[in-house]
């Protein structure tokens, strides 16, 4: 006992008496500004937003979803914010296209950075073609023989892709000879085709992007069906004795960089990771080194708002699992200590993303952004 008294004195341990210990040394949470958790009461939830707001006071993935909606709302309401949506994974073949349209149509997005595959499958859908549920009774060898391309649990028809190539060829035939192309230019041409040919009520990602003036960049354009279609188009030109159409990816880089450079504030909403995420984020360091290395009017720009929905864990060390904290070290994000708002949702995007967007849409409908 004497030893305990001596040890307590040296280490400032509280006395053994429980009442005294609680009164003199233990905090109650509220004293330090901690927010209490609250049970989700579905009986009090009449809307999706009610559920998502309730989830923000729970734990684990539910809290992440709720907090993501808060960041997206703040980003959507900030009139000075240039808002970037980055997309990877099979989100369009997974039937998330209209969620993307909702974000574009409701001014949550000023630029899209995507994988080429995502835009290709979305164009299939927008052009009136169909995807199908995969039947596990059919093995992959059989699928290949039937012209069925499997994307996890969904089927893309080879026939669809053949039909898309014909549309791409027709669209590119309208480009003046010698005019260099890039991904956002090609995507705009495809979107304009949809505006001309689809029913007024029909919706599609590239159609919404054209109607709202939102550029769609595909940094790894050749890594997609649309990229292969462009390759086929060039070969057809060569066979016809014509000079092949040229593709210049730096037209994308500089167009995006200039839009970011002239913006007052930046926000980013990311599905997955990969090339789209990093390409969109690296604009800050690019602007910085433009100034520091060649002194040519660059700027120091960081993302103030940031939401990422991706189940990739950080410990694999890959780009898709890279945390916003890591991005702060590269000068890509404003840290929370300086007012930055960031949320990472470790979930399947087809589960979490619709809830986040729908909740914010309900908030904006109730109280529109200025």
What CATH number corresponds to the domain at position 133?
A: 3.40.910.10
Residue 154 within any structural domain of the chain: yes
**Beta-carbon contacts of residue 110 (< 8 Å; ≥ 6 apart):** 82, 83, 84, 214, 259
DSSP string covering 201-245: T---HHHHHHHHT--EE-TTTTSSHHHHHHHHHHHHHHHTTPPPP
Q: Does residue 285 share a domain with residue 174?
A: no
Give the H or E element holding residue 133. Answer: strand 132-133
Residue 89 within any structural domain of the chain: no
Which domain-ending residue is among 199, 218, 249?
249
Q: Does residue 299 share a domain with residue 235?
A: no
Q: Judge contact between 52 and 43, C-beta under 8 A.
A: no
pLDDT tens over the chain, length 370 residues:
444 444 444 555 455 555 555 556 899 889 888 899 999 999 999 999 999 999 999 999 999 999 999 999 999 999 999 999 999 999 999 999 999 999 999 999 999 999 999 999 999 999 999 999 999 999 999 999 999 999 999 999 999 999 999 999 999 999 998 899 999 999 999 999 999 999 999 999 999 999 999 999 999 999 999 999 999 999 999 999 999 999 999 999 999 999 999 999 999 999 998 999 999 999 999 999 998 999 887 788 999 999 999 988 788 777 777 778 888 888 888 888 888 899 999 999 999 999 999 999 999 999 887 7
Triad 226, 332, 279: Cα angle to 5°? 10
Triad 231, 257, 99: Cα angle to 5°? 70
Q: Does residue 322 share a domain with residue 233?
A: no
Q: Does residue 306 share a domain with residue 213?
A: no
Q: Judge contact between 247 and 221, C-beta under 8 A.
A: yes
pTM above 0.85, yes or no: yes
* Rounded (10°) angle between helices 183-197 and 116-126: 10
């Amino acid at each position: 006992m004497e030893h305990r008294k001596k040890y307590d004195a040296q280490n400032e341990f509280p006395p053994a008496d429980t009442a005294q210990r609680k009164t003199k040394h233990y905090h109650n949470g509220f004293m330090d500004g901690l927010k209490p958790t609250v049970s989700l009461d579905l009986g009090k939830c009449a809307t999706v937003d009610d559920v998502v707001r309730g989830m923000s006071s729970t734990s684990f993935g539910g809290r992440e979803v709720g907090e993501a909606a808060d960041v997206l709302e703040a980003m959507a309401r900030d009139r000075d914010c240039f808002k970037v949506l980055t997309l990877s994974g099979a989100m369009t073949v997974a039937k998330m296209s209209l969620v993307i349209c909702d974000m574009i149509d409701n001014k949550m997005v000023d630029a899209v950075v995507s994988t080429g595959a995502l835009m290709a499958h979305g164009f299939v859908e927008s052009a009136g073609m169909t995807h199908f549920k995969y039947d596990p009774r059919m093995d992959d060898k059989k699928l290949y023989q039937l012209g069925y391309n499997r994307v996890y649990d969904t089927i893309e028809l080879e026939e669809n892709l053949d039909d898309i190539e014909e549309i791409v060829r027709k669209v590119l035939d309208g480009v003046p000879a010698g005019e260099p192309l890039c991904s956002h230019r090609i995507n705009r041409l495809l979107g304009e085709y949809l505006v001309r040919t689809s029913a007024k009520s029909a919706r599609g990602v590239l159609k919404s992007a054209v109607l709202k003036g939102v550029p769609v960049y595909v940094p790894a354009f050749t890594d997609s069906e649309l990229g292969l279609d462009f390759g086929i188009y060039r070969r057809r030109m060569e066979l016809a004795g014509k000079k092949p159409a040229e593709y210049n990816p730096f037209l994308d880089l500089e167009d995006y960089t200039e839009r970011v450079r002239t913006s007052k504030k930046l926000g980013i909403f990311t599905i997955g990771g990969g090339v789209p995420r990093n390409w969109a984020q690296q604009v800050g360091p690019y602007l910085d080194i433009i100034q520091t290395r060649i002194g040519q009017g660059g700027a120091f720009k960081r993302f103030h708002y940031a939401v990422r929905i991706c189940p990739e864990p950080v410990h694999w060390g890959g780009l898709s699992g890279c945390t916003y904290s890591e991005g702060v070290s590269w000068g890509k994000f404003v840290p929370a200590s300086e007012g930055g708002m960031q949320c990472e949702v470790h979930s399947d995007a087809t589960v979490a993303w619709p809830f986040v967007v729908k909740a914010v849409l309900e908030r904006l409908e109730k109280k529109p952004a200025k």
